[in-house]
Amino acid sequence: MAFDSRLQRDIMGRFATGVTVVTTRYKNGDITGMTANAVMSLSLDPPLVVVSVDKSATMHSALSDGQCYAINILTREQEHLSNRFAMPGPKDFSDLILRESKTGAPILEGTLGYLDCKIVDILPAGDHDMFVGEILAGELGEGNPLLYYGSRYQSIAEGQV
Ligand SMILES: Cc1cc2nc3c(=O)[nH]c(=O)nc-3n(C[C@H](O)[C@H](O)[C@H](O)COP(=O)(O)O)c2cc1C
């Protein structure tokens, strides 16, 4: 019998993560994004990261089409962006200050940092696919991280960062 998926979620929920918004640009120029914490640094040489994306998410087809993404790491003041980009369907960027990096994926303003990546591999992983990205550009920002733990947003205690 397959391992209980609720228990898997609950146990992995004890693994504290940061929160990112992964953005992309379709070939027709449209942009979209998705809140993601299944993000990992994969290799330093070559510089690779990976994002695991649900096959049923709009973002899955967007990434397959655009062949690029940016990982935007959120600050604790950007919880509203995490909520916005966790809603399924088209995403509203109209009130956001955006920059374009090398691949054309939109870079969000005021994050802890971003990585701009070209997709070099798509690895199957059950009901998700893993989009491996080669890092073409990136920058560090400033601030305190937004954390996700036990299915809730958390932040590091004042004075601990
Ligand atoms: C904190 C948090 C982390 C998430 N991480 C992921 C993730 O790593 N991969 C994923 O496929 N969905 C993740 N999701 C769910 C997506 O953000 C959500 O399904 C979203 O509606 C997808 O939008 P789309 O279908 O318009 O692409 C996460 C949601 C939250 C709140």
Question: Token pair of 15, please?
Answer: 């693994």
Atom of ligand 1 nearest to the CA of 90: 26
Residue 88 CB–ligand 1 contact under 6 Å: yes
Counting residues of the chain whose pLDDT is more than 90, the rounded percentage is 95
Residue 19 CB–ligand 1 contact under 6 Å: yes
Which pTM does this prediction carry? 0.97
Residue 53 CB–ligand 1 contact under 6 Å: yes
Q: What is the set of domains in the chain, with CATH numbers?
A: 5-139 (2.30.110.10)
Which of 22, 34, 82, 83 to probe ligand 1 with, by most ligand atoms within 8 A of CB? 34
Pairing of strands 98-100, 31-36: unpaired
Residue 71 CB–ligand 1 contact under 6 Å: no
Residue 34 CB–ligand 1 contact under 6 Å: yes
HSE on the CB side for 59, CA within 13 Å? 27
**Contact criterion met (CB below 8 Å) for 59 and 53:** yes
Q: What is the pLDDT of residue 160?
A: 76
**Hey, whose CA ends up nearest to atom 4 of ligand 1?**
36
Mean pLDDT of 65-75: 98
Given pLDDT bands bounded at 50, 70 and 90, which one contains residue 158? confident
Which tens digit of pLDDT belongs to each residue from 16-54? 999 999 999 999 999 999 999 999 999 999 999 999 999
